[in-house]
Amino acid sequence: MRSSLWREISVLEIGVALCLLMLFLLSRTFLETIAAIYMLVAAMLFAALVQARMAAACPDGFDRRLWLASAIACLVEAIILFVDPLLGGYPTAMAMACALAAGAAARLTLALVRNHAGRAWLYISGTVSMMVALAIGFAWPFASILPAAQSLTLDLLAAATMLASVTGKARACSK
């Protein structure tokens, strides 16, 4: 019953990510963009919560640490976007890139080392996160915040899809 709730939250997050992606594609004003970024922050907080729940439910200590690292990285990303939604400063952008890379590394390690339920989605989510981290790290500053926000939304969509596929299967995170 409880895992069903978390799966439904993950599926809801997929819908939120798709709506945010559409909003970023259709937004025309600066205010719409900022509002969408703050909605992205809220969705990232939910993703961190679901990943923390996965960490708590996973019986293996190594897997638990990887899920927790991914959750903390997602939480840091949300805090960075909340404080500086435009990623205006170079240090802020680099902190975001590092947090994204850390979360991606945790998910990719989990996929590589374990025969985890939803392994393919772990690969996709980790790869998308790493690409977004590299895009922000090497191609900053963007001419506008929209490409970064769209990239972060794609990252959230990949992570939400991965979480929907593995939620309820946490007991299966075995060697």
More confident residue, 66 or 36: 66
pLDDT of 89-115, one tens digit each? 788 888 988 998 999 999 899 888 877
Domain coordinates in residue numbering, the chain: 2-167
156 within 8 A of 103, measured Cβ to Cβ: no
More confident residue, 36 or 82: 82
What pLDDT score does 111 carry?
86
SS3 percent helix, strand, coil of the chain, rounded to 5, is: 85, 0, 15
SS3 65: helix
Q: pTM, whole model, 2 decimals?
A: 0.77
